[in-house]
Amino acid sequence: MMDERIANELPQLHRLRRRLARLFNLRDVTVTIPGTPIPYVMTLPADPDAPLDQLMARQKHQEQEQAGRSQQTDAPIGQAETLPVGNTLAIRAARQAQAALTTGAYAPYWSLLWPSGMALAEALMATPEIASGRRTLELGCGLGVTATAALACGARLWAADLFAEALLFCRYNTLRNAGRSPQPVLVNWRTELGRAACMAAGPFDLLLGADVLYEEEDIQPLLTLAEKLLPHGGDFWLAEPGRRTAQTFALAAALRGWRDETTVYTSHWADEDRPSRVVVHRFTLSEHPLI
């Protein structure tokens, strides 16, 4: 049973909790996802600004030491367990992902509970057969709400994120709530090398993404990645809060031959004061593209 699996993982959970507590002050938030037998208890940084403060301090330190820095540096938090031994492509992609953080172009949005992730979890729990036994990749796993639901549905899950800290929180939260954790993938899927590393882990039957589209320049790379990751008949589920970029993505996907079924979720999630509206797109590749 689920409770027995979690009980068997208690020593590992305690070790992970101590590792997280060395990084941040922690707080636990109860999240109720319709379709789940009991609420999830998600652990996250107590101060939502702490990951950004740490990132800025790390950037400053790296800038000061860059001139004489050796290539043989210690792996970032979580990276050692993320990189498969001997997998040169995965190692290069992970190092590139970590290097990208020094540019300041990526903020640590992973440290918050976002409505899109919870809506996508709800959508999965409503139709668990979509994930059961299927090779599944989640882009931008964050704290692991969607990953927990996917694992509870029986997915064979890989979880990708740009931040090693997010993968560590995802590992802890999924193990705590689902009794097992996904295979972590430390990549920046927005780069050619990151997409290649994702494809090397594929093919997949199901691709998941919650709140991953912010910039117009991400639309074509995400479409191309989805087409290469998924065999014909694969599914891509994308949750988004109504950004124009996501609407443009849906139109571009239709022109590339993707069918799109949408469901709107409006609810109070976690400790929000007001309800949020999230659209979950269920994309499948059709036989005859429109162009």
- pLDDT, residue 71, reads 46
Q: pLDDT tens for residues 71-121?
A: 444 444 444 455 554 578 998 999 999 888 888 788 888 999 999 999 999
Residue type, 18: R
Name the residue with higher pLDDT: 271 or 209.
Answer: 209
- pLDDT, residue 253, reads 95
Q: How far apart are CA 279 and CA 242, in angstroms?
A: 7
How is residue 161 written in tokens? 């994120």
Taking Cα atoms as reference points, which of 11, 43, 13 lies closest to residue 27? Answer: 43
> CB of 211 within 8 A of CB of 241?
yes
Q: Which CATH class for the 2-46+109-285 domain?
A: alpha beta
Q: How far apart are CA 165 and CA 141, in angstroms?
A: 11
CB-based contacts of 22: which residues, under 8 Å, 6+ apart?
none
Give this prediction's pTM.
0.89
Q: How far apart are CA 270 and CA 111, in angstroms?
A: 14
| Beta strand 206-210 pairing with 258-267 | unpaired
- pLDDT, residue 169, reads 98
- pLDDT, residue 232, reads 77
Q: Does residue 112 come out as left (phi exceeding 0), alpha (psi in the -120 to 50 range) or beta? A: beta
**Average pLDDT score, the chain:** 87
**CA 36 to centroid of chain Cα atoms:** 20
Residue 115, preceding bond cis, omega within 30 degrees? no
Name the residue with higher pLDDT: 68 or 251.
Answer: 251
Burial of 175 from C-beta contacts in 10 A (0-12 / 13-18 / 19+) = buried
Residue 276 has pLDDT above 60, yes or no: yes
Query: Where does the pLDDT of residue 234 fall: very low under 50, low under 70, confident under 90, or very high at 90 and above?
Result: very high
Domain borders along the chain are: 2-46+109-285
Q: How far apart are CA 14 and CA 160, in angstroms?
A: 23
- The stretch 130-157 carries a mean pLDDT of 98
Residue 8 has pLDDT above 90, yes or no: no
> CB of 144 within 8 A of CB of 29?
no
Please provide residue 34's backbone torsions phi and psi, each rounded to the nearest 5 degrees: -55, 135
- The stretch 222-236 carries a mean pLDDT of 92
